[in-house]
């Protein structure tokens, strides 16, 4: 559910206030802050310029400005995403940090625009945004992918999301994550992440896998089976950790997941058969 302070109006007011304070405190780069936010007319105007600048294309900035001006839902989603980054990531001290410098946020907003164009039948325009984001930011999200609200893409380098993937509300994905398919079929073939899923760095989820609500997928895991809600899976191929391997202090840390990490110890090494099976599975 949207929080009261996550509206575009509230987010824009906070960004402007932060910019005024930062421009006085950090004079060598004050001009950049003022140009990016202080001289913009609205949150939508500033966001369009941010997307165009991140993708290195003024024409994309113009398209983004037009879409955001006529589609309040896109602007609302962007405001919620920004507030979610601020809450989830300890490295984000201000909203303006994520807005100006976090490429995961910029890539997500470009993907939302591409998705809207795709659903409107503007496939070439949508694929243009996808390609520009992949080239400039290293984030490749197919415009047909179903994206929920309040998503966080932390760092985001090397992130790949396939055409029929679905990412639910309040999910967090770190860099190098792949939501891929086996390459053996058409139709729905990519993973479904339900609400509140956390996916660690360089985890790979293959096929029409359902990762249940608030599950945690550990860094580097290869997931080839459904994951139960609230479960933790680690390893290759990923499986629930064995109870006899629990050792104090083994729980990995991840932003925004301290409660769930308490039940995420390191498991034993997978069998050679499991490793061979995971490696032989195509990743696209």
Among the listed residues 85, 86, 145, the one whose alpha carbon sits nearest the alpha carbon of residue 111: 145
Q: Is residue 242 scored above 60 in pLDDT? A: yes
Rounded CA separation 43/96 (Å): 12
Q: Is residue 163 scored above 50 in pLDDT? A: yes
Contact 200, 217 (CB under 8 A): yes
Rounded CA separation 75/9 (Å): 10
Element (H, E) at 61: helix 58-70
Q: Is residue 216 scored above 70 in pLDDT? A: yes
Q: Is residue 27 scored above 50 in pLDDT? A: yes
- Chain centroid offset of residue 18 CA: 24
Average pLDDT for 196-201: 98
Higher pLDDT, 141 or 280: 141
Give how far Cα 186 sits from Cα of 181, 190, 204, 227, 279, Å: 10, 10, 20, 23, 22
Q: Is residue 260 scored above 70 in pLDDT? A: no
Please state which of the ranges 82-91, 124-133, 268-277 shows the lowest mean pLDDT: 268-277
Mean of pLDDT over the chain: 85
> Parallel, antiparallel, or unpaired: how do β-strands 204-206 and 216-217 relate?
unpaired
Which strands make up the sheet holding 198-199, listed edge to edge?
A: 152-153, 172-173, 198-199, 216-217, 232-235, 238-239
Q: Is residue 279 scored above 70 in pLDDT? A: no
Rounded CA separation 52/71 (Å): 18
Percent of the chain with pLDDT over 70: 80
Percent of the chain with pLDDT over 90: 69
Which strands make up the sheet holding 178-180, listed edge to edge?
A: 139-141, 159-161, 178-180, 204-206, 222-223
Q: Is residue 265 scored above 70 in pLDDT? A: no
Per DSSP, the three-state class of 80 is: helix
Q: How far apart are the first and last CA of the chain?
A: 34
Rounded CA separation 170/260 (Å): 15
> Parallel, antiparallel, or unpaired: how do β-strands 192-193 and 139-141 relate?
unpaired
pTM of the predicted structure, to 2 decimals: 0.81
């Amino acid at each position: 559910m949207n929080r009261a302070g996550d509206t575009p109006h509230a987010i824009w007011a906070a960004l402007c206030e932060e910019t005024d304070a930062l421009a006085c405190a950090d004079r060598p780069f004050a001009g950049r802050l003022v140009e990016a936010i202080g001289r913009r007319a609205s949150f939508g105007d500033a966001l369009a310029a941010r997307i165009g600048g991140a993708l290195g294309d003024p024409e994309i900035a113009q398209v983004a400005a037009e879409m955001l001006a006529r589609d309040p839902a896109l602007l609302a989603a962007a405001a919620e995403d920004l507030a979610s980054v601020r809450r989830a990531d300890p490295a984000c001290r201000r909203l303006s940090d994520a807005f100006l410098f976090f490429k995961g946020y910029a890539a997500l907003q470009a993907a939302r625009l591409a998705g809207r164009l795709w659903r409107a039948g503007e496939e070439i325009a949508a694929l243009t945004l996808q390609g520009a984001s992949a080239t400039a930011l290293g984030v490749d999200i197919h415009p047909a992918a179903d994206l929920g609200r309040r998503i966080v893409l932390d760092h985001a380098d090397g992130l790949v999301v396939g055409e029929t993937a679905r990412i639910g509300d309040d999910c967090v994905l770190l860099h190098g994550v792949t939501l891929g398919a086996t390459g053996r079929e058409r139709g729905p073939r990519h993973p479904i992440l339900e609400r509140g899923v956390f996916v660690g760095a360089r985890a790979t989820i293959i096929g029409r896998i359902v990762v249940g609500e608030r599950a945690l997928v550990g860094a580097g895991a290869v997931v080839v089976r459904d994951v139960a809600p609230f479960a933790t899976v680690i390893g290759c191929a990923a499986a629930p950790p064995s109870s006899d391997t629990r050792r104090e202090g083994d729980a990995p840390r991840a932003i925004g997941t301290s409660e769930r990490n308490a039940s995420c110890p390191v498991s034993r090494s997978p069998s050679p058969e499991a490793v061979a099976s995971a490696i032989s599975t195509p990743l696209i």
